[in-house]
Amino acid sequence: DADVTQTPRNRITKTGKRIMLECSQTKGHDRMYWYRQDPGLGLRLIYYSFDVKDINKGEISDGYSVSRQAQAKFSLSLESAIPNQTALYFCATSDSRDRAVVTQYFGPGTRLLVL
C-alpha cells in the first residue's frame, strides 16, 4: 500500500464549482504540504502544515484553502474553481524529527482540469 495517497487521481470540473482534493498518509509524519505543478514551472508550494493546529500559506495560496483534519489527513479546497487552476496537484509529507534531512515524500498526484 502507498504511504501517501491522494483522491481523486483525476478530476474534471467547471468554472465556479467548489472541489476538494484529499490526501492521506500512513508514514506517521507530522508535516504535510500541497504543491501544484505546471508545465515549465516546476512544483510550487500552495500550503503547508506542521501539525493539526498549524497551517501556513505557501507562495501561491490565493484561491485555495486547506484543512488538516488529523495528523494523517490534509485536504485542499478550491472554493470557486477557475481554468488557470488546471494543473497537477501533489501532496507531500515530512518528519520534523528527522532534523538532518528535509526530505519530503510525495503522493501520486491529482490531475485537475477546470473547464
Partner 1 sequence: DQQVKQNSPSLSVQEGRISILNCDYTNSMFDYFLWYKKYPAEGPTFLISISSIKDKNEDGRFTVFLNKSAKHLSLHIVPSQPGDSAVYFCAATYGGATNKLIFGTGTLLAVQP
Residues of this chain that bind partner 1 (CB under 8 A)? 4, 31, 33, 35, 40-45, 48, 58, 90, 92, 94, 96, 99-109
10-13 vs 110-114, strand pairing mode: parallel
Q: Supply the minimum distance, in Å, between the C-beta of residue 80 and partner 1.
A: 27
Residue (9 or 17) nearer to partner 1, CB: 9
E strands present in 1-115:
4-7, 10-13, 19-25, 31-38, 42-51, 54-57, 64-70, 73-78, 87-94, 105-106, 110-114
Q: Supply the minimum distance, in Å, between the C-beta of residue 40 and partner 1.
A: 6
Residue (8 or 16) nearer to partner 1, CB: 8
Residue (82 or 87) nearer to partner 1, CB: 87
Q: Supply the minimum distance, in Å, between the C-beta of residue 112 and partner 1.
A: 14
Q: Supply the minimum distance, in Å, between the C-beta of residue 99 and partner 1.
A: 6
**Cβ neighbours of residue 103 closer than 8 Å, sequence gap 6 or more:** 94
Q: Give one DSSP letter per residue of 43-58, joined into a string.
A: EEEEEEEEETTEEEE-
Grid cell digits, residue 33: 504540504
Residue (92 or 114) nearer to partner 1, CB: 92
